[in-house]
Structure 1
Amino acid sequence: MQTITTVAELRRALAEVRSADRRVGLVPTMGYLHDGHLALVAASRTQCDVTVVSIFVNPTQFGPNEDLSTYPRDFLRDQELCRDAGVAIVFAPDIQEIYPAQFETFVEPGELAKPMCGAFRPGHFRGVATVVGKLFNMVQPDVAFFGQKDFQQCAVVRRMAIDLNLPIEIITAQTVREPDGLAMSSRNRYLSEEERRRALAISRGLFAAADKFRSGERDAEQLIAIAREQLNTVDRLQYLELVDADTLKPAESPLRRTAALCAAAYVGSTRLIDNVILPLPNP
């Protein structure tokens, strides 16, 4: 495994890969890797010849009062996990490599970035789209892998790739969960033992609505109400929305298209997000 910190070195390494006509997969991360990230690595290794994992805590996607300075970091541990998982290249640039002096060009996403997390985190998806766009240009992968937990992010990135004619396949992998149902997240480490127990209300509510959907319920408000009933142990429910999986607009009743039930909530001072997909054959 190679650990590379500059774009120039990365391009030299990948030039040899491409000259051999080998398929490149990219797993973009902010580090502090967990089994969810490693599932993306495994998917990439199944579908690609060479897997690149980027590790970069991107400052432009954090708001002024968010956790940029305290975001969990353990680079040596991340390296070991990547080595054990069969990663070919870890790309770990410093901030000057991504945002050099006088940097001023950003990718501005559209309507998909406005609801849900976009409404509560102004500029977040602008930062996400910009750094992912830059990573796509730096690595030039054939395939990029993202986790479903960040459902809205996946939608924004997929739209960006289509709109900017990027020849990259975007694959969204199913959310990886703890045995008790909690969606894996680097931010879970912020939770105390008591907070972690209360955080299970998020997945419990989403699963309750998904069960009702599988039993035939198609009324959007009823499905939201079923999920909300379980969310009384979180400290603050930021949003709970049932949206069309393609447009992210509020789902219409009765449901006739695949929808996503998405939630963001604070448990203690930790903001957690999660979702479940309610699949239907779209007309």
Structure 2
Amino acid sequence: MTATTRHALSKVPEVTLIFWIVKIAATTLGETGGDAVSMSMNLGYLVGTLIFAVLFLIAVTAQIRAKTFSPLLYWTTIIATTTVGTTLADFADRSLGIGYAGGSSLLLALLLISLFVWYRSLGSVAVDTVSSPKAEMFYWVTIMFSQTLGTALGDWMADTAGFGYTGAAVVFGGLLALIVAAYYWTNVSRTLLFWAAFILTRPLGAVLGDFLDKPVSHGGLALSRYSASAALLAFILTALLVYRQRAASKAH
């Protein structure tokens, strides 16, 4: 298979700086959007999860059936995973009473199992190999677990560990900076670094979202969840229009 054919088949974006900027904005939107439905609308975590799960299934089905890479469809699916991840993590942590530590441990195990099964089935978990329906299924299931894990981890760091929203943001931002340093100055597996960064952007977005919409008495800015979500969505759409993303192609 030629590089041109692989490029055409790939339906995930090339991993560039704008990818990570949009990813953080999307995960922050997932937190404010998820909270808007489950909390501001008083629908609860379970109903919110069911709503976003339906949207996720619709989006991921459209993404897998698509013949070519579509930035708008891809990021719609990412936002769907992060919103359902927000409400699902909150439901598990709070409604089921397993706590942030229990929820994080369970989701980490599911994430590692997903990556292991993916690797055993297809021989690679690298993003530039996601060019078949089977690989895409593994890709989106893994992302789903990573988004949900990130929500639980962010809440645990900000609340239980006592770092607060800004403190937790500094911690996760610092860890991402270490991954960037490892990317440029070490020979650590690029695939490992990608998934580590992908996972860490979610709790960073979670605490940033909480910082925007939680009450001042809890360390937040008390902004409207609706207006914060609208502003983040406008930023993402603008970024996608200004910076045209290309599909990932297999390096060789």
The TM-score by the shorter chain falls in which range? under 0.3
Q: Which has the higher contact order (CA 8 A, sep 6+)?
A: 2
Larger strand proportion, structure 1 or 2? 1
Larger radius of gyration: 1
TM-score (ref. length: structure 2): 0.26
Larger helix proportion, structure 1 or 2? 2
